[in-house]
Structure 1
Amino acid sequence: MRLFVAVHPPPEAVADLSARVARLRVARAAAAGTDTRLTDPAQAHLTVAFLGTVDTGRLVKVESALGLAAETFRGGRSAHPVLRLGGGGSFGQGRSTVLWVDVRGEVEALRVLGRLVRSGLRRGRLPCDEKPFTPHLTVARPGDRIDPADVAADREALHGYLGPPWPATELVLVRSRQGPRPAYDRVAAWPL
């Protein structure tokens, strides 16, 4: 099964971001029928670590590593880290262009959580991406289906965005099902 670890913003934060995204050019293009692959608000998440394909027989080991990471994180804090979605940008080129919104607030706490998760997975000899952890929430994957000037305009529009603050309260293990309509299934969760 294909797995990743995430923190989910609450519905209020996602609704606020969705209202902003609805005013972007990428959303207008989607409404006109262009496949800009807008992120489904119900699937909005901040990826903490991507594991990729993991044999189901190793799931208990993954859950143990994540449970320990969450427990260690909780032990070093007196309150949940408060985050906000705000700002934004794009990465990739051509077909792989992605539009995203940044994370503000107690981002260093999120980075600490990411390090704990990744080091726990490595200790358990479990798969884990080694990309630098850059907290963000993907808004759309327009690829080369809209004009690069429209992507640039949307990126600039997101620079002024600042959503409501919210506490990060749980770490979630998610199963990803690929395809034309990706689906994410909650496998397990741990309080932060």
Structure 2
Amino acid sequence: MRLFVALYPPTEVVTHVGAYADRLRIGQAAADGVNVRRASADNLHVTLAFIGDVEDGRLPDVRDALGRAAQGWRTPSRRRGTTRTRRPARPAELPGSAELSRPADWSCPVEPARPAEPVVPEPGAEADLVVSEPVVSEAVAAEAGAAPVVARLRLAGGGRFGRGRFTVLWVGLDGDVDALALVSDAVRTELRRARVPYDRRPLRPHLTLARPGERLTRAAVNADLVELAGYVGPWWPLAEMVLMRSHPGPRPTYDRLGSWPL
């Protein structure tokens, strides 16, 4: 079975970004019957870890690993210290070149109390680091008698992977992205301890919107990149991770195999 671990945004977040995508060239092309391979609304997700093909008998090991990762995330000793966020850098000219192809290049988390509009930094631009409050779950905070500081995310900005027939358009994440990275690290650590193989490439948090390939002109893709760079969606809490099974094919399907609160 083919497995991955993901975050699924709430319905209002999916509705918001879907309506925005409808107004882009990919949305107009889809409405005209062009197969730009828009991601279905019920499968818009952010991948935390891609596990890949796993023998059926190892599913309990995967479940146990994810349970330990979630429990570790909710434990105060694993949440000690602070998270680091970045101040947005000066916007670059668009449409971008290489800087729009990697979420890590533009993703600029902001302090939840003072949100800023997402921007695409110039290649190589340095962003000032600031220290935010510790990210603590409501349950952990209640036990400690402290006010909770819930990790929050929002979809913001966007870019492209690949070129030509491999073109993929995505939306990025903003907010407590470092907290998201800690969850991903916890998942990968427990998978490794359970000797479950997984894709070890670095986390690049994003949500795939469409895979238009060469079905859109270069000008249309560049125009969508300009629009995506200014997208800002609603906030939502980092609350749950989900284990999914994918069935690849021309019309891939997905099964939900379990979920764990964060």
Say yes or no: TM over 0.5: yes
Moved more, 71-80 or 59-68: 71-80
| 1:3 alignment partner in structure 2 | 3
In the alignment, which residue of structure 1 is the partner of 2:217? 147
CA offsets per residue over residues 63-106 of structure 1, 9 Å max, x none? 01111111111222523421000100001112211100000010
1:118-133 mapped onto 2 (5 Å cutoff): 118-133=188-203
Q: Is the 8 A contact 2:136 2:151 kept in 1?
A: no
Partner residue of 1:78? 136
TM-score where L is the length of structure 2: 0.72
1:173 is paired with a residue of what secondary structure?
strand
> How far, CA to CA, are the matches of 1:158 and 1:21 in structure 2?
9
1:117 is aligned with what amino acid? V
Q: Distance in 2 between matches of 1:67 and 1:25?
A: 41
The answer as to whether partners of 2:35 and 2:212 remain within 8 angstroms in 1 is yes
Distance 1:130 1:151 in 2: 30
Identify the residue that residue 159 of structure 1 maps to in structure 2: 229
Match of residue 67 from structure 1: 67
Partner SS for 2:74: helix
RMSD of Structure 2 on Structure 1 (CA): 1.0
Q: CA deviation at 1:150?
A: 1.0
Once residues 168 and 12 of structure 1 are traced to their aligned partners in structure 2, the CA distance between those partners, rounded to angstroms, is 15
Q: C-alpha separation between the residues in 2 aligned to 1:74 and 1:20?
A: 34
SS state of the match for residue 157, structure 2? coil
For 1:188 and 1:56, the matched residues in 2 are separated by 15
Residue equivalent to 1:104: 174
Q: Which residue does 2:28 correspond to in 1?
A: 28
Task: State the one-letter code of the partner of 1:20.
Answer: Y
Residues 1:49 and 2:49 are matched in the alignment: yes
Residues 1:115 and 2:185 aligned together: yes
Amino acid at match of 2:28: R
Q: TM-score, normalised by structure 1?
A: 0.97
CA distance in 2 between counterparts of 1:39 and 1:27 reads 11
Task: State the Cα distance separating 1:18 from its structure 2 match.
Answer: 0.5
**Which digits, 9 at most, give the CA deviation of each residue in 1:28-81, with x for residues without a partner?**
111111110001011111000001111110000000111111111122252342
Contact 1:8/1:168 (8 A) holds in 2: no
Contact conserved, 1:38 with 1:139, CA < 8 A, in 2?
A: yes
Q: Which runs of 5+ in 2 are unaligned?
A: 80-134, 138-149
Aligned structure 1 segments of 4 or more residues deviating by more than 3 angstroms: none
RCO comparison, higher one (Cα < 8 Å, 6+): 1
Asked which structure has the greater CA Rg, the reply is 2
Match of 1:182 among 230, 248, 252: 252
Rounded to whole Å, the distance in 2 between the matches of 1:178 and 1:30 is 21
